[in-house]
Structures are given as C-alpha cells and as structure tokens.
Amino acid sequence: MTDPTSPDVQAARRRTFAIISHPDAGKTTLTEKFLLYAGAIQEAGAVKAQAGRRRATSDWMALEQQRGISISSTVLQFDYRDHVVNLLDTPGHRDFSEDTYRVLAAADAAIMVLDSARGVEPQTLKLFEVCRSRRLPVLTFLNKMDRPGLEPLALLDEVEQQIGLRPTPVTWPVGDPGSFRGVIDRRNGAFVRFTRTERGSTAAGETPLSAAEAADELGAPWARAADECALLDEVGAVVDRKSFLAGESTPVFVGSAITNFGVRHLLDAVIDLAPAPSAQLDATDQPRPLDAPCSGFVFKVQANMNPAHRDHVAFVRVCSGHFERGMTLVHQPSGKPFATKYASSVFGSERTTVDEAWPGDVIGLVNASGLRIGDSLYLEQPVTFPRIPAFPPELIASAYSKDVSRHKQFRRGLEQLEQEGVVQVLHRRNDPQPVLAAVGQMQFEVFAHRMANEFNAPVEMGSYSQRTVRLTDEATAEELRGYSVVQVLERGDGALLAMFESPYFMARMEADHPEWMLEPILTT
C-alpha cells in the first residue's frame, strides 16, 4: 500500500511544467485545451473569458491588452489520469525572458509551442535558449497543423539547428501542409484520423486506424508520411528518455490546439515522459530529500495583481515535505518566522485558499512583502536553495518623477518594482538619480505604466541605450573608472555592474586584462 501522506508518494503523482512559446503560437489555446481534456473546464472558452475578467479588474493588465502580450504569469493546477498537474504560465515575449527564466527555475519540464507556419522566430529564440541553458526536459508541440505551414522536416531542422535540441518525433503528420489528415503515432505505427470540430469546444473526434486501414483510406499522403517515418527511424530520431531528461533531445508532437487535435497525445506525454519532482539541490549542491520537513523557494513576486486587494503575493515552489496552511516557516535570509496564514492558489485574479501542498506544487503567499525572488523558506531543518541568476541587462534608461511632490510615491514604486524584478535599479557612485536596467524595452514600458497607474507617480523616461554588461568587483571597478567607454553602477543588492558602450570595448578589456573580474551572468 502506498501511503498518501508520504511526500515521496505525492511527488510521484505530480508534474510541474511550463509552456513557452512566441506570442500567438497558441499557448493560451493549448492551456485551455489541457483544462478541457483534464475535465477542469466543461467547455473551451472559459480561460479567455477568465482572462477578459482579469484584464478588466487590473490596471496594469490593461497594458497587456493594449499590447496584446501576456506579462503576468498564472499558475494552474488540475488533475489528470490520477496525477496532479501544475502548469506555470510564462510571458511570451523575449523582453520578459528573465521572468520566464525565473518561472523555469520552478518547473521540472517545459513544453515549447511552435507555430508550424512560422517555425522558430528570432524574437523568441532567447526564451527557448533559456530553457536549454537550464537543461530542462523540453517537449515540443508543432501547432496549427490545420493550416498551411512549413514542411515538418524543415521544422525539425530549425529546432536542431537554432535551439540545439535533437528532435525525436513521437507523432508525425499525415497529409500536406494545409490538408492535414491526422497523425501516425510512431510508438505503435497506428494512425489517428483528424476530424475538424467547430473551434474545438469539446474533445476532438479521434478515430484510430491500423497502418493497413490508413494506407487503404489515404493512399499517397499515407505512403509519403510512412516514408518520412522510415527515414526518421533510419537516422535514429526515436524518443530517448535519458537524453530528454538531460535536456539534450526533445520529443516532438504535432497537432492543432484550436481543433484539439494532438492535445491528448501531448498531455499524456506530460504524465508519461516528463519527470516527477525530485530532491532539489541546495546552494551547496546537496539534495534536499523530498521527505525532509517542508521547504521551498520564491520564484516570483507580484504586487497589486488585483487593485481590489493591494497586496503582495510571493509564489513559492514547494521542494520538500508537506505544506499545511497556518504553519510557521523560517525565512532563510532574515532568519525570521513567516506565518503562512494566507496561502492561496491563483487562477488569473481568482484566489482559492490552499490548505496543503506537496513537492512540485506552487503556493501563493499573500502579504509577503518581506519575501524576495530566490529566498528560501523552511520548517525545522535549515536549507538554502541556490539564488536564481539574473540576466545581464542590455538596455539602460534614466527615470525621473514627473511631479517632484510625489517623491515618496516614486520611491515606493521604484522599490516595489525592483523587488518584483520588473526592472533592475542601479546607481552611479554619489548620484541619487536612479538608472534603470532591463533585458528588453517592454520592461521599461511596464515600469512606466505601473508607476503611473498603481503608485500614482508618473515618470518621464530618458532615452534608452544599449550596453554590454558584466558583473565586476571593487578592485576591477577601480581600474574601470579610469575609462570613458565603461561606467560602473551599483545595484540594490550591492553588486557592481560594468556597463560597456559596445561589446568591442568589453572584449578588448577582457583580452588585455584576464585578471579582471568581468562575469556575464549576474546572480540576484
């Protein structure tokens, strides 16, 4: 008998993953279809309606609507095949790749969604690279097969060449791009016929046929797909769980989220192929056993998600033990107790109180203004999980309060948005005027919008400029201060950042002074 109160047993039932995609590739649609297949919603359309309500109730989410982008991440939990699935949403634009990176720190796997008509788009390549750099297992979904698109083999080539993951197709399309007939499941050679349903509001009609029946019914398109599968077999493009778990190969699924096609194969793969939560390594590379007392780390902080509750939510990934609401955890950086009276799960702006959680689950701790991204929390046995690395910013801009009498609001907003990681806030030595740094320009837009709307402190942004940034130390900073092509700025956490006017100057100095500290990745 398995003991349902054992963290090992509960962890084995869980799958915690994120979907990453470029905007419009179909992430929202796919998420919704997962909920439909899991029975968490009865009819497709609910998530969009939910998103509509969410946008209507939040000031800064209005910006998402204006720009047609998703900035905030949502965590969804649902049951499927006797498992608990935690789906972490990520923003779809490269300008927010740092946010994606933090979310991926809390995920055990990712699904990469590509629009099969567009392939790997340069603006989102960075998001996918982030995934690979974390060595996360990645499942790939080639979406929108119901429309004319690129040849599937060309798409595999893009995944291999541009992202550096070896694609291993599990399902393969039958029919020309634009006249999609269904998929071959390469694991058993069977064919599943594609039947168009009206916007896929209910589960797709899936008719399984044997290879012989499919060959009879489809003729040439079947023969072509079967030939392609034979070629794939020949080059060894078959699912290999070991290299998938090591983040080297990616099982590929094809389908059409809007018509639900291929959604079930993909969701089944989350259960069958993606890893369950396992012992998380701490900052000294020691594993925290799943059955150790409760512990977790903050991977996202968000304030004012809903103007009706001007509050501060810290999202925590549970790493070990059994979380029970009301328990008092220790906040590792301060050593102070943190009472978890208000723990919730967040679905858009809707909150549900969470009474318990297990490894792999995400809890939203409300009123958590003392918690920062990367902070660890634990019960009884201390643990420090590794900090989440920050990206080197690529852009800097100055920001001034438009109204000097709103100085206090300006400071408060600056502090809050820095804490959430919306932008990095830097200072030159002996200069109180902040310099904002970001990976992408849209971060500045979100900053300015939220300053005006949430903190009532409209800002004037100076012009943006590009920089090549390295983390440095005091000794190197002293040397660098003698040059005009580089500026040294200090971040709130005391880190010193060297900002070069061009990568050329940086490369020169690195080559001339190998003894200087100039590190590319900046830990928070």
Binding site for ligand G4P (CB under 6 A): 21, 23-29, 92, 143-144, 146-147, 256-258
When the beta carbons of 127 and 459 are compared against ligand G4P, the nearer one is 127
- Please report how close the Cβ of residue 425 comes to ligand G4P at its closest, in angstroms: 30
When the beta carbons of 25 and 232 are compared against ligand G4P, the nearer one is 25
When the beta carbons of 29 and 332 are compared against ligand G4P, the nearer one is 29
SS3 377: strand
- Please report how close the Cβ of residue 46 comes to ligand G4P at its closest, in angstroms: 13
Sheet holding 295-303, edge to edge: 336-339, 328-331, 376-378, 295-303, 312-320, 362-366, 343-347, 350-353
Residue linked to tokens 């923003």: 91
- Please report how close the Cβ of residue 146 comes to ligand G4P at its closest, in angstroms: 5
When the beta carbons of 199 and 513 are compared against ligand G4P, the nearer one is 199
Exposure of 290 in the CB half-sphere (CA atoms within 13 A): 19
- Please report how close the Cβ of residue 183 comes to ligand G4P at its closest, in angstroms: 13
Nearest to 139 by CA among 11, 272, 25, 32: 272
The sign of the CA dihedral 231, 236, 240, 244 is negative
When the beta carbons of 91 and 359 are compared against ligand G4P, the nearer one is 91
- Please report how close the Cβ of residue 21 comes to ligand G4P at its closest, in angstroms: 5
- Please report how close the Cβ of residue 334 comes to ligand G4P at its closest, in angstroms: 38
- What angle separates helix 122-133 from helix 97-105, to the nearest 10 degrees? 30
- Please report how close the Cβ of residue 171 comes to ligand G4P at its closest, in angstroms: 14
Q: How far apart, in Å, are the Cα atoms of 11 and each of 7, 30, 163, 381, 503?
A: 6, 25, 30, 19, 45
Nearest to 64 by CA among 26, 105, 93: 93
When the beta carbons of 19 and 486 are compared against ligand G4P, the nearer one is 19
Exposure of 417 in the CB half-sphere (CA atoms within 13 A): 30
Q: How far apart are CA 367 and CA 309, in angstroms?
A: 10
Token readout for 133 is 């750099």
Residue linked to tokens 């103007």: 307
**For the chain, the helix, strand and coil percentages under 3-state DSSP, each to the nearest 5:** 30, 30, 40
When the beta carbons of 26 and 393 are compared against ligand G4P, the nearer one is 26
- Please report how close the Cβ of residue 261 comes to ligand G4P at its closest, in angstroms: 8
- Please report how close the Cβ of residue 64 comes to ligand G4P at its closest, in angstroms: 11
Q: How far apart are CA 37 and CA 240, in angstroms?
A: 26
When the beta carbons of 21 and 424 are compared against ligand G4P, the nearer one is 21
When the beta carbons of 120 and 257 are compared against ligand G4P, the nearer one is 257
When the beta carbons of 144 and 406 are compared against ligand G4P, the nearer one is 144
- Please report how close the Cβ of residue 442 comes to ligand G4P at its closest, in angstroms: 15
CB within 8 Å of 230: residues ≥ 6 apart:
none
Token readout for 217 is 């019914």
Q: Kind and range of the H or E element at 366?
A: strand 362-366
When the beta carbons of 21 and 345 are compared against ligand G4P, the nearer one is 21
Q: How far apart are CA 37 and CA 3, in angstroms?
A: 28
Phi and psi at residue 380, to the nearest 5°? 60, -70
- Please report how close the Cβ of residue 139 comes to ligand G4P at its closest, in angstroms: 16
Residue linked to tokens 């050329």: 504
